[in-house]
Amino acid sequence: MTALSHSSAWAALARHRRDIADTRMRDLFAADPGRFGAFSLEAAGLFLDYSKNCITQDTVGLLLDLARQQDVEGACARMFGGEPINLTEKRAVLHTALRNRSDRPVTVDGRDVMPAVRAVLERMDAFANSVRDGDWRGYTGQPITDVVNIGIGGSDLGPVMATEALKPFAHAHVALHFVSNVDGTHLAEQLKWLDPETTLFVIASKTFTTQETLTNAHSARRWFLETAKDEAHVARHFVAVSTNEAEVRKFGIDPANMFGFWDWVGGRYSLWSAIGLPIMIAIGPERFAELLAGAHAMDEHFRTAPLERNMPVLLALLGVWYRNFWDASSYAVLPYDQYLHRFPAYLQQLDMESNGKSVTRGGEPVDYQTGPVLFGEPGTNGQHAFYQLIHQGTSLIPCDFVAAATTHNPIGAEAGAHHRILLSNVFAQAEALMRGKTADEVRAEMTKSGKLAEEVEALVPHRVFPGNRPSNTILMQSLTPATLGALIALYEHKVFVQGVVWDINSFDQWGVELGKQLASTILPEMESGPAEGAHDSSTTGLMAWWRANR
């Protein structure tokens, strides 16, 4: 047994779970008019209502005991303090330094990293402005009209998500495009309408060795040179974002056109670094600074608020409650904001790559569940697709609803009509999940509409909603760079706290390596076929089928 599953806080929660097995949220609401006030809080421009959870004050107390037992506060101090908490890679975890707007130094191995962070930001500012203002010219003297970011994973998802989310703030006459997939279709479809004379490529890769990114980058350069002819023109059209200067040089990009960052920035935590260059080109340095400031405000809240009033901590503990004590294997994030349409995809990497682990930090197998499967779609689309399962399926799927009080597009017959409809749906979904509909309620409703008793009884079981299905609602006044920054940081810290509770390393990702390794073995075998016995019959058979059918 692991220390966690053997611990007193864990056992107390398991007992409590049995005790409240028959407790219904709708009764808790009926019994306590102050429930909303008791289970909601505001921080860094975000409002969290967590009252629609299967919890009482006792539950929260026991979850906080678990957090204290697992030393969440100590772990938080160690992360912000630059200790090498990513043990398997012997690295500090300091994405918070990238958005540190205070005068506090942040030290790694005794050296303050803040001067270097500020220096890169200044270079990014100058470069982004020169592209936005049309001062950065292509090889024929024309301003840049299109920027293509080539990267994958953390070098893609954060920039795409934030660029989409902050579209209302993108005033520059520069269009952003993102290519990640090694499927040639992705690059080909993006390049189809672009002019090499006015296109700038940002090659974004922390390691600068990622197969997909390098393959796409080489193809982009070939496409560019078909028109530009002269290698010397590459310098005006290709810049790199990386920690690996040697590989950048090898690719043929002058380090003068490289924006660096550091090994203490994890890929999925890197949008605050030079990886955010496309975001900055889209929204401008001032707005990018607001994004950083919003995240910093959430960092300060996380670092200083007591656990019981700490938004990331509470969200994390609620996740642990369902994952470990209610057997909830998945979790939905449902942004009711079209601009956040890539937010669930971004969170999939953040959450599932961080906490998809099954050994403790000490290398022991865990005997409890860790990270859930995360999915989501922007509302209201999901309602007409998979919400059926969330309402009436056999699994418990906790949901986070995310929405802004105001819209950037107040359209409709009356101004803002669309937005009122959108928000009424968020509130209704959360209420429906919590309340459900009992058999008696179904009967009463159907009888009122004049249905025959027999017909009613046949339909009752199909029309009952079990309810008692949990959700959080996260609201902000408006989706801005600052509130987006706070929202992302909220989830980053949530994932961190869960990793601490589960005693896993949230900052490595060895699980992605095996597939990469095998692909590099298989690639040279594609044409000739593998040596006898090199693979299982399925893998060999699939390769043979491909050779016969291509």
Contact positions toward ligand BG6, by CB under 6 A? Answer: 152-155, 205-207, 210, 213, 267-268, 353, 509, 512
Q: Give the residue from 110, 166, 168, 483 showing the smallest Cα distance to 296.
A: 483
State the Cα angle at 216 between 211 and 220, rounded to 5°. 150
> Measuring CA to CA, which residue among 181, 237, 239 is closest to residue 210?
181
Nearer to ligand BG6, 150 or 165 (CB): 150
CA–chain centroid gap for 300, Å, is 20
Closer of 271 and 487 to ligand BG6 (Cβ): 271
Among the listed residues 197, 212, 353, 377, the single catalytic one is 353
Burial code of 338-375, b = ≥16 C-beta within 10 A, e = fewer? bbbbbbbbbbbbbbbbbbbbebbbeeeebebbbbbebb
Q: How far is the CB of 297 from ligand BG6 (least distance, A)?
A: 26
441 assigned to active site: no
Instruction: Return the number of the residue (152 or 334) whose C-beta is nearest ligand BG6.
Output: 152
Tell me the C-alpha distance between 13 and 66, whole Å. Answer: 9
In whole angstroms, the minimum distance from the beta carbon of 85 to ligand BG6 comes to 17
- Least spacing, CB of residue 89 vs ligand BG6, in Å: 11
Shortest distance, CB of residue 187 to ligand BG6, whole angstroms? 16
How many other CB atoms sit within 10 Å of the CB of residue 29? 16
Instruction: Check if 516 is active-site.
Output: yes
Shortest spacing between CB 510 and ligand BG6, in angstroms: 9
Using the CB atoms, write b or e for 223-239: b if 16+ within 10 Å: bbeeebeeeebbebbbb
Contact present, 90 and 84 (Cβ < 8 Å): yes
Q: Which residues, in sequence order, are CB contacts of 62 under 8 Å at separation 6+?
A: 9, 12, 13, 16
**Residue whose CB is less far from ligand BG6, 353 or 503:** 353
CA-to-CA distance for 37 and 47, rounded, in angstroms?
12
Least spacing, CB of residue 242 vs ligand BG6, in Å: 8
Q: Find, among 322, 311, 429, the residue nearest to 372 by Cα.
A: 322
Q: Which is nearer to ligand BG6, 130 or 348 (CB)?
A: 348
β-partners of residue 333 are 400
In angstroms, give the least distance from the CB of 162 to ligand BG6.
15
Task: Say which of 90, 192, 384, 462 is annotated catalytic.
Answer: 384
By beta-carbon proximity to ligand BG6, the closer residue of 439 and 519 is 519
CB of 205 to ligand BG6, least distance (A): 3
For ligand BG6, give the closer residue by CB, 49 or 353: 353
The verdict on whether omega for the bond into residue 380 sits within 30 degrees of 0, i.e. cis, is yes
Q: Which is nearer to ligand BG6, 67 or 92 (CB)?
A: 92
CA distances (Å), 474 to each of 114, 192, 210, 467, 498, in order? 32, 40, 36, 20, 19
Beta carbon nearer to ligand BG6, 57 or 209: 209
Amino acid at 459: L
Please state, in angstroms and rounded to a whole number, the distance separating the CA atoms of residues 48 and 67: 19
User: Minimal distance in Å, beta carbon 206 to ligand BG6?
Assistant: 4
3-state helix, strand, coil in the chain (%, to 5): 55, 10, 35
Question: Alpha-carbon distance 485 to 493, whole Å?
Answer: 12
* Cα(225)–Cα(154) distance, integer angstroms: 28
Please, are residues 399 and 542 in contact by the beta-carbon 8 Å criterion? no
Instruction: Give min distance, CB of 164 to ligand BG6, in A.
Output: 18
Please name the helix (run of DSSP H) or strand (run of DSSP E) that holds residue 239, with its range, or none: strand 238-242
With CA atoms as reference, report the closest residue to 288 among 489, 485, 155.
485
Determine contact, residues 395/389, Cβ cutoff 8 Å. yes
Q: What residues contact residue 286 under an 8 Å CB cut-off, 6+ apart?
A: none
Please, which residue, 153 or 284, has the CB nearer to ligand BG6?
A: 153
Catalytic-residue membership of 353: yes
- Active-site residue list: 353, 384, 516
